[in-house]
Each structure stands twice: as structure tokens, then as C-alpha cells.
Amino acid sequence: MKILVVRFSSIGDIVLTSPVLRCIKKQRPDAVIHYLTKRKFAPLLEANPYIDRLYFLDDTLQEVLGPLRKEQYDLVIDLHHNLRTLLLKLDLGVRSHSFSKQNIRKYLTVRFRRNLMPNRHVVSRYLDTLGSLGITDDGEGLDYFIPAKDRLQVKDLPLTHLHGFVAMAIGGQQATKKMPVERLKEMGAGLTVPVILLGGPEDRANGEIIREGQEFKIFNGCGLFNINQSASLLQLSKKVITHDTGLMHIAAALKKEIISIWGNTIPEFGMSPYFGKNHLSEPFAVNSHIMEVKGLSCRPCSKLGKKKCPKGHFNCMNRIPTEEVIDLVCR
């Protein structure tokens, strides 16, 4: 059976599709899996042993339709479920299954500030698309495979961090999903362990602000590492502090202890750190700590995030107790 799995973006969402690939390959060894995504996300998938071929969306869908038609797929697993994937499925004309985005429930949850979401993680909803194949959740959680060329070693770290460090992912696609830099600086100053800051080039200036006065303890890695090298640093870390972002999901795939900080979005949308049922109890339990301000009448204000707090006070982040984060990291 030849299967096309589709997820165009983004980092976290693509990582969350990894159980689908593993479960298909391990429970249907005859399956051939192709994966369609945007080219810029190729590094997330290039080392995945469960993918037989990658296809990339560049400028337009039309450019990739010809090669995909020639593959003569038996099934399309649509894990993006938008207008573009609808056009893709219509063009290929083969059997398909799409996951439920629950957009109406998300809208109502944001509109009325009442949780109307089903108590199911997005990974479970992804896996629902495999039901007709007789494939079930194996409980092993997420996968992330780091190419050999991007694996960092302890010897590559600053001398001050050779004996252990905490990773702090300070980035985020939207401002309301990121703690203000002044509060991150306060948190960094309170930590008594070495820290490596992770993020993109756009986060480097904030990293320097957080590092100011803590140069021996805090290393600003923002913009210095590609996504797989950042994943390698997460793997080497003792614990991970992160916003609701792609690196949070990579850390979950690597089974790291996570302290996740939530602003205007909520874990109930189904995007909290996911470890799989086999890693929720001893002796294999992975610790996950959700830091959020409950009871705010204005939260959630968006399902994805905003450029700034609509109310101006940004209480969902400003009221996060940094001392509790510090305690969780340092204990």
C-alpha cells in the first residue's frame, strides 16, 4: 500500500505527526510512506526512517501535482485539512482520510472563554485517521530523529556548561505566546544552574538582554544553531524551559522534563507536551509541568496567538510566577 501523508507546516505540528508514520510502518510493514510538506521544513523529516520519500511544496500546489499523480497512491492521510489539501485530494482522486481540526469548538472556546474542546490531544486526532487501516496508537509518543551531521557533543559546549545545563527556548511565532524579555531576564538571573538560550536569529537580541550580567551562567545560542542542532542541545540538556512552540514538541519527542509556559493559548486546545501513554507512569514517566495563569476572563484570546495583548496588561504572561519555574528547574 502506498500512502501520502500531508502536513505543510509548522515545526510543532509536523513533529506531532510522527506517531502516525511510526504506527503505519510498524503495524503495516507493506506500507510505503511518502510525505508532502513545505521545503523549509525538510530538516525535521530528513532523518526519519519511517518515510520512504519526501515531496515538497514550493511556490504553488500545481508544481507538485504532476509528480504526485504519477505515484498512484492508494491512500492520502491529510493531517493539514485546508483548502489546498482539498484541491490536492480532488486532483489525486484516491481514498483519503482527514483529521478533525475542531475549528468551531476552538472558535467558541475563544469567543465565550469556556473550554468546549474534546479532551483529546491533537496526536490522538491524527491517529484517528488510521482507524480504517486497523492501526492503533502504540503509546510510544513522538519521534524526532537528529541527522548525524547535526549531533552535538558535550565537548562542543562552553566550558561552563560541560557538567550539565538547562535549555531555555525563548522564541515563539506570536508575541502573546512569549514571556516578556524582562521577565525572562528575571528568571535567568534566579536560576542557579548553567543555561543555554535557544531560538532563531530574530531572538538573538532578546537573548543578549537576558544574558546581561549573567555571562558565565547563560550562553546565548539564539541564531547560532539550525533546528536539528537545537534539538541536539535539547537532548543534551537536563531540563527544558519553553513556551508553547515547536521546540517544546521536539523536547517532548526526546522525552525531556519540560516546564512549559503558556500565555494567551491554552493546553486544552490539544497541543500540550505529548509523551505517549507508555511514558506516563513509572518507571518510564517523563515529568511535564504546565505553567499558566488560570481564571483570567480574557484567556484564551486567540487559538494561535496575537501580535500584542488586546487588553494591554498581558496578565497571562506577566502573572506567571517565575519563582515557581526557578524552583522546578533547580530542585
Residue 10's Cβ-count burial label (10 Å; 0-12, 13-18, 19+) is: middle
Is the separation of the CB atoms in 226 and 254 below 8 Å? no
Please give the chain's pLDDT, 331 residues, in tens. 999 999 999 999 999 999 999 999 999 999 999 999 999 999 999 999 999 999 999 989 999 999 999 999 999 999 999 999 999 999 999 999 999 999 999 999 999 999 999 999 999 999 999 999 999 999 999 999 999 999 999 888 999 999 999 999 999 989 999 999 999 999 999 999 999 999 999 999 999 999 999 999 999 999 999 999 999 999 999 999 999 999 999 999 999 999 999 999 999 999 999 999 999 877 777 899 999 999 999 999 999 999 999 999 999 999 999 999 999 999 8
State in words which class domain 2-133 has.
alpha beta
Is the separation of the CB atoms in 47 and 147 below 8 Å? yes
Cell of 286: 517523563
Say how far apart CA 279 and CA 19 lie, in whole Å.
14
Helices (H), ranges, 254-320:
315-318
Residues of the chain with CATH 3.40.50.2000: 2-133, 149-330
Is the separation of the CB atoms in 147 and 219 below 8 Å? no
State in words which class domain 149-330 has.
alpha beta
Stretch (H or E) spanning 111: helix 103-112
Stretch (H or E) spanning 185: helix 181-190
Would you list the DSSP string of 7-19?
Answer: ----HHHHHHTHH
Partner residues linked to 3 by β-bridges = 33, 75
pTM score, two decimals? Answer: 0.97
